Chains A and B, each alone.
Chain A
Amino acid sequence: MNDESMKISSELWEPLEPEAKDAEKIERPSLTFFQDGWRRLKANKVAMVSMIIIAVITIGAIVIPWFWPYTYKAQNLDLANIPAVMDTYPLENGKNIYVTPQYTVVVMDSKGNLEGLAESGRKDMIGKKNYFSVDGLEICVDYSLYSEATKEYKSLEKKVDETGMVKVSDAQYLVDYFAQNGGGAEEISLTEASNILENKMTRVKVTCGGEELTEQVRLRNHTYLLGTDGLGRDLFIRIVYGARISLTVGFFAAFINFVVGVFYGAIAGYIGGELDNIMMRVIDILDSIPMTLYVILIMVVVGPGLVSIILALGLTFWVKMARIVRGQVLTLKQQEFVKAAVVTGADTKRIIIKHLIPNMMGPIMVNIAMQIPSAIFNEAFLSFVGLGISAPMASWGTLCNDALAGIYVYPYQMVFPAIAISVTILTFNLFSDGLRDAFDPKQRK
């Protein structure tokens, strides 16, 4: 035996380089499930922007009504149907006037702060002229041209030939229009004639003290940010209240959905056996019924209103959640930590609440986020067909419904709520997609 070979060479006893000691060290802090998901979510720009927009809408919906000068039901019938942006005529005294589609005159200052209706004077029904006085100035709104043109158009409709064409020379307003704008067509289609009548012609001639006002200034409505509705209520605050309703419905429906769906699914999945079988058959049957139909029927039973919408949506929307949760539970309950909990004597309730649900939070959260826009969508739909929120309360669905009657004359009343609802649903959808990618990548398709 060679003693030399048993000897450990002295260089092996040398201390390690300081860097080598760190090789095994965990450099970064360990992340919990939520920190990890949040990190991934933050990297997703679309989802982050959507989240910020949702936050802005939510905070706005809560805060704005506190300081806004109008309430959702304060009416001012004088100032009904005033749009957000108006083509106004400036007067000599610094005031501006706006002629409404009913040929009345609204007075405002040069910045667009509304001052009210102009004092109405004589109405010349035969000459088609309305007279008003603004601070001593006499304003005359002459709508005879348009009303003449409408009459001419009516007679054109009778003269139209089989091809749908009409002679320009038959109607004075068409002759005048082409004389002003060039283009000397002899025959045009009836559709074109109607288009010129409705969209291209100057409707009124406004004179002030005998002089015709030709200069027009486009002014923003400084009194009502988005204009007023048919009863002179501030459209902006009504949309804000609509946001309150929609968000309340969305969050509460998601909450009920969470409570019912999660526990139903967890109980079915965990207990299993015959009970699971029955509970799943019930879900199959519920699933084959169109949910909207049942939301409507429940609404009929409990009566329209915010609470019943939330109830109806919450009671019918949990089916998908129950399915997802049951699937998760079926896989989770085979794992050791559940067995360990059973061995230590935890009862079913404790296992479901303390062990199973926290381990499924990812899919549950994602599914809730997806149900919120769907609930908002349904609320708008129900309110639109007249089964949801009732007057004077406003929701985006009822606002759109109210605007429907006057859509051709006051399209802005439809446009703003429509934008609000579309943006909200879109951002919720994009956000829930991001949430899914971050917290539950398996669901990604």
Chain B
Amino acid sequence: MIRYIIKRVISAIITIWFIMTLTFILMKAIPGDPFSSEKMADPVIIENIKAKYGLDKPLIEQYGKYLYDYAHGDFGISYMKKGLTTNDIISSGFPYSLRIGIWASVLVLVLGIFFGIIAALRQNKIIDRVLMILATLGATIPSFVFATGFLFVFSKILGWVPSFGVDNWKGYIGPVIVSALFSLAYVVRLMRTSTLDVLNQDYIRTARAKGLPEWKVMGKHVMRNAILPVVTYIGPMFAALITGSFVVEKVFGIPGIGNLFTNSILNRDYTLIMGITVFFAVILVICILVVDILYVLIDPRIKYQ
């Protein structure tokens, strides 16, 4: 077990290094540098600024410094937002995204597993059909359509939620629901398929044959086994939800990290782009790592490879 974990951690570190390198190369591949567009007539000033940010050094040295700083948790200074470090900016936006992400994940798991089981138990009945149609729509309609539709109905017509920002808990309702929908649709389908699979297994027949009450069959035998595919999906889903949906944050006017990322791209703030990309990647890799390790604990059939 320990060996398995160590192996997984090493491959996670390699992945993060790869992402950092790729990001670095991509950022350096952009023609020109962030200051070439600014109207600073005096080349001396530009030279000074470049020296300040270390852009006058050879690429390999810049790369080394980049890896060293990032490994120490220092994501550098923002080019565009004067006087702010990338760390400051990320820590200002991340709490919003984190809160929305956590609640959305809870919503997805609770409702997704519940409706998935219901649909499987009532296979081909009306409720199953309705749930599957809803799941198809949920995976089809883009989130910006949902988000604006939600605002239009609940903010404009009914006036229940604020149309902008997250000053109180009501402001979180829309973002949480809208960001959850896509994953929810997926989890319902996944849970339905795997529950149907499990229900046809011999051990379920055995459990019923020996006279276990239905709730025990469902809770102990069906749920425990059917939930496994969902567990693998939790990692990427959780990471995607807490790193903030760009669209949802834009429509609902939330100063979260997704919004910061889009803005940093539109402003060509290269250090911020690099910082947030790596931050996203680290979160994703950690989430996948944790879920993989959990998976082995939950499902003893899986060998540590």
A352-407 CB contacts (< 8 Å) to partner B: 377, 380-381, 384-387, 397, 400-401, 403-404, 407
Contacts of B243 in A (CB 8 A): 290
Residues in B whose Cβ lies below 8 Å from that of A300: 26, 30, 265, 268, 273
> Are the CB atoms of B160 and A296 closer together than 8 Å?
no
In the complex, the answer to whether B285 meets A288 with C-beta atoms within 8 Å is yes
**A386–B145 touching, CB < 8 Å:** no
B273: A residues at CB distance < 8 A: 297, 300
**CB distance A301 to B30 under 8 Å?**
yes
Contact B247 A418 (CB under 8 A): no
Q: Is the CB of B15 within 8 A of A199?
A: no
Across the interface, name the chain B residue whose C-beta is closest to A421.
B142
In the complex, which of the residues B137, B140, B156, B158 has the most CB atoms of chain A within 10 Å of its own CB atom? B140
For residue A195, CB closer than 8 A to chain B, the reply is yes
A411 within 8 A of B: yes
- B105 CB → nearest A CB, Å: 16
Instruction: With both chains docked as a complex, state the minimum distance between the C-beta of B66 and any C-beta of chain A, in angstroms.
Output: 15
Complexed CA–CA distance, A403 and B149 (Å): 12
Given contact pairs A384-B247, A421-B142, A414 touches B148 in the complex (Cβ within 8 A): yes
Among B222-271, those with CB < 8 Å from A are 236, 239-240, 243, 246-247, 250-251, 261-262, 265-266, 268
Chain A positions within 8 Å of B22 at CB level: 289, 294
B136 contacts A by Cβ under 8 Å: yes
Q: How many interface residues does chain B have, given as a range?
A: 35 or more
- Is B29 part of the contact surface with A, judged by Cβ < 8 Å? yes
Q: Are B145 and A418 in contact (CB under 8 A)?
A: yes
Encode contact with B along A288-317: 1 for CB under 8 Å, 0 otherwise: 111001101111110000000000000000
Cβ A384 vs Cβ B159 within 8 A: no
B46 within 8 A of A: no
Find out whether the CB atom of A199 lies under 8 angstroms from the CB atom of B277: no
Residues of B within 8 A of A198 (CB): 156
* B142 A381 Cβ-Cβ under 8 A: yes
Q: How far is the CA of A293 from the CA of B276 in the complex (A)?
A: 10
B132 to chain A, nearest CB (A): 11
Cβ–Cβ contact A191 & B142, under 8 A: no
B19 x A421 contact (CB < 8 A): no
Contact A195-B157, Cβ < 8 Å, known A411-B152, A414-B148, A429-B139: yes
Cβ–Cβ contact A385 & B262, under 8 A = yes
Is the C-beta of A285 less than 8 angstroms from some C-beta in chain B?
yes
Complex: A299 Cα to B262 Cα, angstroms: 12
Contact status B280-A293, CB under 8 Å: yes
Query: Which chain A residues numbered 258 to 305 have a C-beta less than 8 Å away from chain B?
Result: 284-285, 288-290, 293-294, 296-301
Quick one: given A285-B15, A290-B284, are A381 and B160 in contact (CB under 8 Å)?
A: no
**Chain A nearest CB: distance from B249 CB in Å?**
10
* Beta-carbon contact of B23 and A297 below 8 Å: yes
B149-164 CB contacts (< 8 Å) to partner A: 149, 151-152, 156-160
Of A296, A411, A422, A429, the residue contacting B142 (CB under 8 A) is: A422
Measured between beta carbons, the chain B residues less than 8 angstroms from A397 are 144
> Are B152 and A408 in contact, CB atoms less than 8 angstroms apart?
yes
The answer for the CA separation of A288 and B142 in the assembled complex, in Å, is 23
Q: Which residues of B contact A400 (CB under 8 A)?
A: 142, 144-145, 148
**Is A199 touching B157 in the complex (CB atoms < 8 A)?**
yes
When chains A and B are docked, how far (Å) is the Cα of A297 from the Cα of B23? 8
Q: Taking the complex as formed, is A110 at the interface, i.e. its CB lies under 8 A from any CB of chain B?
A: no
Separation of A69 and B139 alpha carbons in the complex (Å): 36
Distance from A257 Cβ to chain B, minimum over Cβ atoms (Å): 20
Q: How far is the CB of B83 from chain A (nearest CB, A)?
A: 24
B35 → A minimal CB distance (Å)? 17
Question: A380 to B247, alpha carbons, bound, how many Å?
Answer: 11
- Known: A300-B26, A384-B247, A421-B145; 19 extra A-B contacts, CB below 8 A, are A194-B159, A195-B157, A195-B158, A288-B285, A288-B288, A297-B277, A299-B265, A300-B265, A301-B29, A381-B246, A381-B247, A385-B247, A385-B250, A387-B262, A400-B148, A418-B149, A421-B142, A422-B142, A422-B145
**Which A residues are within 8 Å of any B CB, using their own CB?**
191, 194-195, 198-199, 284-285, 288-290, 293-294, 296-301, 377, 380-381, 384-387, 397, 400-401, 403-404, 407-408, 411, 414, 418, 421-422, 425-426, 429-430, 445
A–B pairs, 5, beta carbons within 8 Å: A300-B30, A300-B268, A385-B250, A411-B152, A429-B136
Closest 7 A/B residue pairs (Cβ) = A191-B159, A418-B145, A426-B140, A422-B141, A385-B262, A385-B246, A285-B18
Please list the residues of chain B having a beta carbon within 8 angstroms of any beta carbon in chain A: 14-15, 18-19, 22-23, 26-27, 29-30, 136-137, 139-142, 144-145, 148-149, 151-152, 156-160, 193, 236, 239-240, 243, 246-247, 250-251, 261-262, 265-266, 268, 273, 277, 280-281, 284-285, 288
